[in-house]
Amino acid sequence: MPELPEVETIRRLVERHLVGRRIIGVDLRLPKLMRDSPCPDLSVIAGQTIAAARRQAKVLVLDLSNGWSLLVHFKLSGQLAIERPDGSRDVAGHPVPDPTGPFPHKATHLELRFDDGTIVWYSDIRQFSWLRLMPTGDVEAALTAFGFGPEALDEAVVLWALKAVAPRRRIPIKTVLLDQTVIAGLGNIYADEALFAAGIHPGTPANEVSRPRLAKLARSIPWALEQGLAQGGAKIVNNKARPIDGFPAVHGRQGEPCFTCGTTVEKIRVGARGTYFCPTCQKPRLKKHV
């Protein structure tokens, strides 16, 4: 995380609270966040107004009034906190720093101050995320260069993408789901949840998933993302899930009973990623048995 639901939650918060506000102060404390940025000097955004907030896959795009745009990729542990003048706060993304704790945190690397007294803190405890500042006219080409597949929110589009790729790949189906060039926005949490909802073992070779199961997976992927959006991002703290209405059902629940059958949820590694599943609800299947 953050994955599509978390980044979309951040986008909505920015749209609600920051669009139309003028930036009056910029304090970048970790310049390496601007690595590979066409313009490495973030101070040029001071005095500008946020004109729009948009998103493609897991990349947030903030369009500014001076014809420049700031791209943000939160990677594994980016977090955005918005504190309004009355002290109320909205936080989305990674659960560290503690959303209710003091800011700025030691992992806070950027502070933006706005004309109405609002403060934005950008934190990243692992420092893998990045910021890129470029002319707005260059954004589409920059996003295209990532080679993102279609968004994972539409069942028909997801099914089309999976049918085009899965039958030709022997790698685990979960690895296919995490490939952003196949479908965009899906990450570790929601891949686990979609596979559980579809009853597919995450290590199943992609080309051994039958068409009916692939269709069920195509329904489960948008469903899992919508569940995350409804929660403002799945509640995972210190790699442990805090389910709301049974979601997440498996991710972050190692050693706990499956909500469906009571079997203990297990954790394995698939493609070097920690992967959670129910060994009863997601039994390994051969193609002829699916």
CATH number at residue 185: 1.10.8.50
**Active-site pick, 75, 89, 219, 273:** 273
The yes-or-no answer on residue 58 being catalytic is: yes
Out of 145, 177, 200, a domain closes at 145
**Active-site pick, 58, 132, 174, 253:** 58
* Residue keyed to tokens 């199943």: 204
> What is the chain's percent helix, strand, coil content, to nearest 5?
30, 30, 40
The yes-or-no answer on residue 89 being catalytic is: no
Closest C-alpha among 243, 247, 256 to residue 220: 247
Q: What SS3 state is found at 276?
A: strand
Out of 145, 169, 190, a domain closes at 145
| 119-124/78-83 β-pairing | antiparallel
- 130 and 182 together in one domain: no
**Active-site pick, 3, 6, 151, 193:** 3
- Helix spans in 87-208 (H): 139-145, 155-165, 173-178, 188-198
Domain-embedded: residue 150: no
Out of 145, 176, 198, a domain closes at 145
Residue 104: cis peptide before it, omega within 30 degrees of 0: yes
Question: How many independent structural domains does the chain possess?
Answer: 2
Task: Return the C-alpha torsion angle 172, 234, 163, 154, nearest 10.
Answer: -170
The pTM of the full predicted model, rounded to 2 decimals, is 0.92
**Active-site pick, 2, 5, 97, 202:** 2
pLDDT one digit per residue (tens) for the chain, 290 residues = 689 999 999 999 999 999 999 999 999 999 999 999 999 999 999 999 999 999 999 999 999 999 999 999 999 999 999 999 999 999 999 999 999 999 999 999 999 999 999 999 999 999 999 999 999 999 999 999 999 999 999 999 999 999 999 999 999 999 999 999 999 999 999 999 999 999 999 999 999 999 999 999 999 999 999 999 999 999 888 889 999 999 999 999 999 999 999 999 999 999 999 999 999 999 986 544 44
For 218, the domain range is 155-289
Cα-flanking dihedrals φ and ψ of residue 69, to 5°? -135, 145
Percent of the chain beyond pLDDT 70?
98
Residue-wise pLDDT for 214-258, tens only, equals 999 999 999 999 999 999 999 888 889 999 999 999 999 999 999
Q: What SS3 state is found at 72?
A: strand
The yes-or-no answer on residue 288 being catalytic is: no
Burial of 98 (0-12, 13-18, 19+ CB in 10 A): exposed
CA–CA dist 74, 107 (Å, integer):
13
- 188 and 130 together in one domain: no
